[in-house]
């Protein structure tokens, strides 16, 4: 049976050079980076080299990069400390953010009684920037938390526009950039965002490691207490091999970005063309079917399949060796509709199956053809 992996927005295949780099570190650099002897200093040097590499790609200071266990921890660190330590009393977000943000905000409402405003969405899931500007005109200490690229429908936020609005209104700006770091170049000197987050496994690195960018002099404080690792913002013995894996993956992503982006864009366009020609009643959710207004890494397709038959679609695709998802992998155990699609689709379309297909350099047009054959068979 053919095996096709089209769930790269959930996680990606690790590059061979990343595996090699991590293996070498595990074999030879096993010292605790907090130890003062040569074994410890060797590990510490690797971490600081990785920190400088990451900072260089974002055009920021190395001291502004804090390594974490991934995007969720980084989001929690920023949001919780902003409320607890920076005395933020008002958070502006959207109802289509990742649950790492939405559930954290829900908890902050319970713990600190903060006010939350949800920016209006256009029917295609696009942020209403004029409404955001209206929400920003208040007297409260405000944090805006809006993701750069939506992980389910691929919509792209205008980071610079939102950052400028926040600055003009004395608000802090946090963006979950888990789906964009490693896929797009980002100059944070040009974009005055205060905080961003990333996870290595989204750009062909290892799971269990990510980072937060925290602009200097932000006055954030740790969530995890213990040692003084990560500038005192994230206690715990550093996972040196994972951090080096993140660095290696990010370096490869930038080294090969031009050719790999072109390859994946061509693959996505091919997928769109196939859907339009072979499944003419299918529609694309959000802006995912528009190459100019969505990320090049994914599409989200609403398929014209009756509800009773639709309930078995993912199961049938899995039986055919096809990996994809109905939404975020974090919701895979839930029978509920995607919270993102619930916000933007009408009642009729919510009864139809919507599937996210996400691409990488390891995918091929032959795999797209195979998926289309299976979808056509199931749709008949």
Two tokens, residue 290: 């528009």
Report the percent of the chain where pLDDT is more than 90: 92
Contact call for residues 101 and 93 (beta carbons, < 8 A): yes
- pLDDT band per the 50, 70, 90 thresholds, residue 335: low
User: Which pLDDT score, from 0 to 100, does residue 331 have?
Assistant: 47
Is position 324 annotated as part of the catalytic site?
no
Average pLDDT of 54-81? 98
155 strand-pairing partners: 294
Within the chain, strands assigned E span 4-5, 65-68, 90-93, 115-118, 142-145, 172-176, 195-199, 210-214, 283-284, 298-302, 322-323, 354-358
Residue 148 in contact with residue 175, Cβ under 8 Å?
yes
In sequence order, what DSSP letters do the residues of 53-102 get, joined into one string? Answer: HHHHHHTS-GGGEEEESSHHHHHHHHHHHHHHTS---EEEE-TTS-HHHH
Q: What is the mean pLDDT of residues 22-38?
A: 97
Into which CATH architecture does domain 4-12+256-379 fall?
A: Alpha-Beta Complex (3.90)
User: Which candidate, 19, 35, 24, 145, places its Cα nearest to that of 82?
Assistant: 145
The catalytic position among 166, 302, 324, 330 is: 330
- The confidence score (pLDDT) of residue 151 equals 98
Q: Is the confidence at residue 328, as pLDDT, over 60?
A: no
CA distance 256 to 274: 27
- Residue 170 tokens, joined: 């004395």
Give the C-alpha separation, 275 to 88, whole Å: 46
What are the residue ranges spanned by the domains of the chain?
4-12+256-379, 16-255
For the domain made up of 16-255, give the CATH fold: 3.40.640
**Per-residue tokens: 129:** 């920037």
What pLDDT score was predicted for residue 339? 95
Assigned token pair, 310: 């639709």
For 101-132, the pLDDT digits (tens) are 999 999 999 999 999 999 999 999 999 999 99
Confidence of residue 332 (pLDDT cuts 50, 70, 90): very low
Task: Examine the pLDDT at 333 and tell me if it is beyond 50.
Answer: no
Class of residue 129 by CB neighbours under 10 A (exposed 0-12, middle 13-18, buried 19+): middle
């Amino acid at each position: 049976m053919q095996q096709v992996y089209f769930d790269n927005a959930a996680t990606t295949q690790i590059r061979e050079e990343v595996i090699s780099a991590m293996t070498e570190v595990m074999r030879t650099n096993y010292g605790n980076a907090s130890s003062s002897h040569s074994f410890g200093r060797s590990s510490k040097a690797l971490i600081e080299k990785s920190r400088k590499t990451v900072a260089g790609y974002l055009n920021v200071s190395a001291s502004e990069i804090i390594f974490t266990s991934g995007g969720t921890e980084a989001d929690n660190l920023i949001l919780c400390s902003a409320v607890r330590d920076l005395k933020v009393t008002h958070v502006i977000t959207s109802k289509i953010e990742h649950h790492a943000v939405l559930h954290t905000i829900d908890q902050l409402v319970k713990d600190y009684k903060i006010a939350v405003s949800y920016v209006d969405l256009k029917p295609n899931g696009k942020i209403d920037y004029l409404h955001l500007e209206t929400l920003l005109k208040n007297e409260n200490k405000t944090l805006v938390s809006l993701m750069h690229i939506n992980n389910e429908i691929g919509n792209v936020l205008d980071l610079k526009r939102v950052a400028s609005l926040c600055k003009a209104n004395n608000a802090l700006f946090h963006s979950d950039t888990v789906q964009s770091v490693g896929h797009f170049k980002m100059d944070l000197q040009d974009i005055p965002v205060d905080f961003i987050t990333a996870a290595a496994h989204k750009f062909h690195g290892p799971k269990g490691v990510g980072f937060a960018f925290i602009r200097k002099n932000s006055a954030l404080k740790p969530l995890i207490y213990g040692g003084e690792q990560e500038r005192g913002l994230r206690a715990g013995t550093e996972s040196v091999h994972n951090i080096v894996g993140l660095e290696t993956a990010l370096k490869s992503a930038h080294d090969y970005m031009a050719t790999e982006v072109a390859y994946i864009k061509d693959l996505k366009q091919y997928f769109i063309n196939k859907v339009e020609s072979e499944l003419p009643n299918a529609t694309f959710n959000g802006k995912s079917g528009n190459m100019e207004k969505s990320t090049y890494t994914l599409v989200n397709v609403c398929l014209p399949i009756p509800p009773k038959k639709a309930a078995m679609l993912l199961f049938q695709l899995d039986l055919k060796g096809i990996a994809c998802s109905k939404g975020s992998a974090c919701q895979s155990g839930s029978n509920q509709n995607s919270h993102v699609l619930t916000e933007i689709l009408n009642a009729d379309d919510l009864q139809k199956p919507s599937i996210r297909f996400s691409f990488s350099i390891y995918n091929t047009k032959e795999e797209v053809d195979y998926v289309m054959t299976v979808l056509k068979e199931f749709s008949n």
